[in-house]
Amino acid sequence: MSLSGKVALVTGASRGIGAAIARELRRRGARVAINYNSSREAAERLRRELGDGAEVFKADVSNRQEVRSMVEDVVGTFGGLDVVVNNAGIMELMPFEQLDEARLDRMWAVNVKGPIYVTLEALPHLKKSRGVVVNVASIAGIGTALANTTYYAITKAALIALTRRLAFDLAPYGIRVNAVAPSWIETDLTTRGRTREEVERAKSDIIGKTALRALAAPEDIARAVAFLASDDARLVTGQVLVVDGGRLDYLTHGV
Ligand code: NAP
């Protein structure tokens, strides 16, 4: 599963799952563009850790102009683009009956429009490289139900629909499009605003819902992304790779 010779852009790579993906792709030989929005220091730290072959690029993925400049900079720096990992995402928790439209709009802009903008702006370069897109969705978009995540779930369901549609739209260019759907993973996204005790309770609750009695880690998602990004997956497109230890609590199984 070598990624040697490839250039990969990972959005939201300053922290959490995105940082693990950047590490894994670099470890497999790709040169990596680390995108961040607000966590500049964390992104710079990761760049230093990854050494030559990694650079940092700031852009809010929900801002098309910033995305356009970022992609131009990435291609200017590395000379091309082979792999796009749409990982940047946010989760705004709210009960269905307490809709906060501004927070829903922000989540939609980052989680859905972000991958659209990044893929659109990267497309001319992906056409040249017969590249790959990997979207980081969520099992929330398939059917597990965590309290107050209905609005988040629909953004991830949209991302899964986008993955499947783009697999058809971009196949004529030799571009593959897949998604990874993680379950609950301990990152800022899931621990913010929670006490240590609440986090530990959430973890054992999730473990109890898996067939393998295990919790996914960012590295598990990173390895799945690396596979989909590699030529080993050359005939895999339009797929959603669920990495969740076998969750037993799906509302539906209709992936
Ligand atoms: P996280 O720790 O909160 O990290 C989120 C990352 O996204 C940060 O690097 C952040 O960068 C970046 N980001 C946020 N808004 C951005 C924007 N507008 N433009 C560019 N980057 C932006 O979250 P995570 O848990 O690693 O989640 C990563 C992805 O996995 C998300 O798409 C999430 O929905 C998905 N996911 C997570 C879980 C989970 O349980 N953790 C489960 C399923 C799916 P800055 O800090 O630089 O702004």
Instruction: Please report the pLDDT score of residue 180 as a whole number.
Output: 98
On whether residue 1 sits in a domain, the answer given is no
Q: What is the CATH number of the domain that holds 245?
A: 3.40.50.720
Please give the pLDDT value at position 250.
78
Ligand 1 contacts CB of residue 189 (under 6 A): yes
> What is the pLDDT, as a whole number, of residue 140?
95
Confidence at residue 145, expressed as pLDDT on a 0 to 100 scale: 72
Q: Which atom of ligand 1 is nearest to the CA of 61?
A: 19
Q: Which residue has the tokens 């091309």?
A: 80
Which residues fall within 8 angstroms of residue 175, CB to CB, at 6 or more apart?
126, 127, 130, 131, 132, 133
| CA 246 distance to own-chain centroid | 20
Q: How many domains does the chain have?
A: 1
Of 202, 189, 221, 209, nearest to 250 by C-alpha is 209
Mutate to test the pocket of ligand 1, among 37, 107, 162 (most ligand atoms within 8 A of CB): 37
- Would 213 be classed as within a structural domain? yes
Residue 9: beta bridge partners? 33, 84
| pLDDT < 50 regions, the chain | 253-255
Q: Is residue 2 part of a domain?
A: no
Q: Which residue from 80, 37, 170 is spatially nearest to 116, judged by alpha carbons?
A: 170
pLDDT single digits (tens) 60-105:
999 999 999 999 999 999 999 999 999 999 999 999 999 999 999 9
Give residue 136 CA to ligand 1 midpoint distance, Å.
9
CB-based contacts of 109, cutoff 8 Å, min separation 6: 62
The Cα 78–Cα 87 span in angstroms is 20
Contacts of 249 (CB under 8 A, 6+ apart): 144, 145, 209
**What tokens were used for 149?**
């995540």
How many degrees, rounded to 5, is the angle at CA 171 between CA 167 and CA 177? Answer: 35
42 to 12, 138, 243: CA distances (angstroms)? 11, 24, 26
Is the CB–ligand 1 distance for residue 144 below 6 Å? Answer: no
Atom of ligand 1 nearest to the CA of 139: 43
32 - beta bridge partners? Answer: 8, 54
Q: Decide whether any atom of ligand 1 lies within 6 Å of the 135 Cβ.
A: no
User: pLDDT by residue (tens digit) across 221-235?
Assistant: 999 999 999 999 999
Q: Confirm if 133 and 84 have CB atoms less than 8 A apart.
A: yes
Residue 32: which domain range?
7-251
Residue 104 is inside which H or E element, if any? helix 101-108
Q: List active site positions.
A: 152
